[in-house]
Amino acid sequence: MPRALLSVSCKDGIVEFARELIKLGFSIISSGGTAAVLRAAGVPVTDLSDVIGPPLFGHRWATLASEVYQPILSRNLPEDDALLARLGLECTDLVCVDLYPFEDKAADPKLTEEEKREFIDVGGPTLLRAAAKGPRIVISSPEQRGEVLVWLAAGKPDEAKFTRKLASRARYEALKHDLAVLKYFGDGEYDGTVGRKVLDFKYGENPSQKGALYEDESATRTDTHASGLLRAVKDARHRLGYVGATDVGRLLTTMTHIGAVCRVNAVPAPCIVVVVKHGNPCGAVIRDNAKAALDAVVSCNEQAVFGGSLMTNFAIGAAEAETLRKRRVRDRHSGAESLLMIDVVIAPSFSEEALAVLKPKTPGSTKWNAVPFTALAGPLDDPTADALDYVRRLDYIRGGFLAQTNYTNVLTFVDPTLEFVGGGLPPFEVRRDLALAWAVCATSNSNTTTIARDGMLLGNGCGRMDRVGSCHLAITDAGDAGHRLEESVAVTDGFFPKDDGPSALFQAGVTTILAPSGSKEDNAIRSFCRNQGIRLILAPNGRCFAQHHA
């Protein structure tokens, strides 16, 4: 008779699982807490303590005995079977173990460090690793139980492949637990991440590269926006590519920064739309109604928005979908008009009518890919919500990686460290435009200068190596899109080393500038702006908001 060892932290469904195993011919052996649950439900079970003795040292020693591991690690050889018989032991064919929820407990401020230490699992990871090496049928997550029962009932087809997959997951669960413990108790000396594959892309950034998406479950277990982002990429009507997935990630970053800066500055933002293309925002608007927002975001830069990825913080119905599908854009060089085309449309939800409108007219087309993202519903409209990403950022460099806390500084106009040159707190409309420009600038690749007016992005000069170059690029970007810049605002993500940047912006029509301080020429910048009547807002250098890499 095959034997199953059950020792689980999550008891939900374990009684039903054990009963199904018994129907399939298994006998059950189980550790204390799990055995008690099974026994109370009337499931025949052998308590592990009957084999190895009672738990010791405050239940720290419960499964760490040779009588547990010999039946798991024995090989499928006659001499090993004979040795087990001489020892009075039976082979263990299936191991079902899930681990203590250390990450949840480590984040609990009510627990002391010693109390958290008790949630470091020793026996569980050891059992998983032993069963994976066995090899045995090893179940390391509750979600696998049903799949294993179906496989067993079907006669264990493709056994080697199936058990290899189970073993890999078991090693992953053990590693994930150990990494969480290491990071918590390691005092910053050790860092890293482990991911679980969500999907393979057709190729990576280029056709010569391979690409895949992995989930960091330490992030997605508590962050609904993180889990929603991955689910959106995975469940897209047409599979996104590698670059498309990076654009979706940047969309969420920009959207949540707009939501955050509007929230802390009491700027109403009922309808936000953002468009990203090749890693940087090229359209962003704040409007009072959905149709106006969708129409305006295309007008930010018709040529750049064409073929981009679009995200809203409001539901898409038939009227909103029609606004996008019927929108015509003009090529700035040839003057020819064509219907707008968008790669991906992400919104909290889509009506059935909207999905029908957005459905590509050409069979097999991957354009107008409608992707529901329910995590966007609510938090951006909730004045108490904070949807920013607080997970540590890791960036690969050859031979290692860089780690830093995330981009969570948010501009607030009541910050006492802000310096208002040439006037006090600007009027509401200017604050709204500065908030929008700041969020776009802060989520674009540095050096960046961003120009906005009337709740609308006009020009985004990003990725330049010099500050004045980013100013000229933003001005050119806006001009090419047909925008006049009178009474507009500009935000730049680093200090001005000279007054050439403010001068270029002033000549283009910009009347309000927000920039970090810290330049040796700060006094010259102040004097220039005063003399020209420019409202200048300086943030201390410690409040910089540049992102130098995607």
pLDDT in tens, 68-120: 999 999 998 999 999 999 999 999 999 999 999 999 999 999 999 999 999 99
Asked whether residue 60 carries a pLDDT value surpassing 80, the answer given is no
Q: Please say if the pLDDT value at position 430 is more than 60.
A: yes
What distance in Å separates the CA atoms of residue 199 and residue 207, rounded to the nearest whole number? 17
Token code pair at residue 190: 């050790």
Q: How confident is the model at residue 236, as a pLDDT?
A: 80
Domain 411-543, CATH class in plain words: alpha beta
Q: How far apart are CA 126 and CA 72, in angstroms?
A: 11
Of 324-338, 363-377, 484-498, 519-533, where does mean pLDDT reach its minimum? 363-377
What's the residue count for the chain?
Answer: 550
Q: At 301, list the tokens.
A: 């830069």
d(CA 225, CA 222): 9
Per-residue confidence (pLDDT) for residue 447, from 0 to 100: 94
Portion of the chain with pLDDT greater than 90, in percent: 80
Give residue 380's pLDDT.
58
Residue from 236, 192, 241 nearest 213 by CA: 241
Level-2 CATH architecture, domain 212-396 = 3-Layer(aba) Sandwich (3.40)
Query: 444 and 438 in contact (C-beta within 8 Å)?
Result: no
pLDDT at 216: 94
Say if CB 102 and CB 177 are below 8 A apart.
yes
Q: Quick check: 372 pLDDT over 90?
A: no
Mean pLDDT of 275-286: 97
Residue 432 reports pLDDT greater than 90: yes
- pLDDT > 70: percent of the chain: 97
As a whole number of angstroms, the longest Cα–Cα distance in the chain is 96
Spell out the residues 6+ positions from residue 216 whose beta carbon is closer than 8 angstroms to its own: 193, 194, 195, 226, 391
DSSP state, residue 144: G
**Mean pLDDT to the nearest integer, 376-391:** 69
* Phi, psi dihedral angles at 181 (to 5 degrees): -65, -45
Helices 242-264 and 224-234: crossing angle in degrees, nearest 10, is 150
pLDDT category, 385, cuts 50, 70, 90?
low
Provide the 10 A C-beta neighbour count for residue 489: 29
Which residues are 3's β-sheet partners? Answer: 27
User: Is the confidence at residue 255, as pLDDT, over 60?
Assistant: yes
Query: Which residues of the chain form CATH 3.40.140.20?
Result: 212-396, 411-543
Looking up tokens 């329910």, which residue turns up? 374
Question: 194 in the Ramachandran plot: left (φ > 0), alpha (ψ -120 to 50) or beta?
Answer: beta
d(CA 166, CA 108): 31
Q: Which pLDDT value is given to residue 141?
A: 96
Specify the pLDDT at position 275: 98
Query: How does the average pLDDT of the chain come out, rounded?
Result: 92
Report the first-to-last Cα separation within the chain, whole angstroms.
Answer: 56
Q: Detail the DSSP E strand segments found in 116-221.
A: 137-139, 196-200, 212-215
- Region(s) of the chain under CATH 3.40.50.1380: 3-185
| pLDDT beyond 70 at 377 | no
Neighbouring CB atoms inside 10 A of 24's CB total 13
Between 314 and 222, the more confident residue is 314
- Residue pair 126/151 in contact by the 8 Å Cβ criterion: no
Residue 56 pLDDT class (50, 70, 90 cuts): confident
Residue-level pLDDT at 373: 84
pLDDT of residue 221: 86
DSSP string covering 16-85, please?
A: HHHHHHHHTT-EEEE-HHHHHHHHHTT---EETHHHH-S-BTTTTBSS-SHHHHHHHH--SSHHHHHHHH
Q: State the pLDDT confidence band at 333, using cuts at 50, 70 and 90.
A: confident
Does the pLDDT value for residue 353 go beyond 90?
yes
Q: How many CB atoms lie within 10 A of CB 384?
A: 6
- pLDDT the model gives residue 378: 58
Lowest mean pLDDT among 59-63, 179-183, 200-204, 288-292: 59-63
Q: What is the torsion angle, in degrees rounded to the nearest 10, for the CA atoms of residue 422, residue 423, residue 427 and residue 432?
A: 50
Q: How confident is the model at residue 322 (pLDDT cuts 50, 70, 90)?
A: very high
**Beta strands 196-200; 449-453: pairing state:** unpaired
* Residue whose structure tokens are 């990003």: 462
**pLDDT at site 383:** 52
Pairing of strands 510-516, 488-492: parallel
Residue of 193, 189, 163 lying closest to 175 (CA atoms) = 193
Q: List own/partner pairs for 518-526 with CB under 8 A and 24 or more apart.
A: 518/544, 519/495, 521/496, 521/497, 522/495, 524/498, 524/499, 525/496, 525/499, 526/421
pLDDT band at residue 360 using 50, 70 and 90 as cut-offs: confident
Q: Is the pLDDT confidence value at 320 over 60? A: yes
**The domain made up of 3-185 is a member of CATH 3.20.20.70:** no
Q: What are phi and psi of 176, to 5 degrees?
A: -60, -45
Helices 66-73 and 123-133, interaxial angle, to 10°?
A: 20
* Inter-residue contact 318 to 351 (CB < 8 Å): yes
Residues forming a β-bridge with 404: 393
User: Residue 119 in 3-state DSSP?
Assistant: coil
Residues 6+ apart with CB under 8 A from 392: 191, 403, 404, 405, 406
CA distance 354 to 352: 5
pLDDT at 346: 94
The amino acid occupying position 73 is L
Tens-place pLDDT, residues 121-135: 999 999 999 999 999
**Cα-flanking dihedrals φ and ψ of residue 201, to 5°?**
-85, 160
Distance separating alpha carbons of residues 10 and 99, to the nearest angstrom: 8
Beta bridge partners of 46: 29
How confident is the model at residue 384, as a pLDDT?
Answer: 55
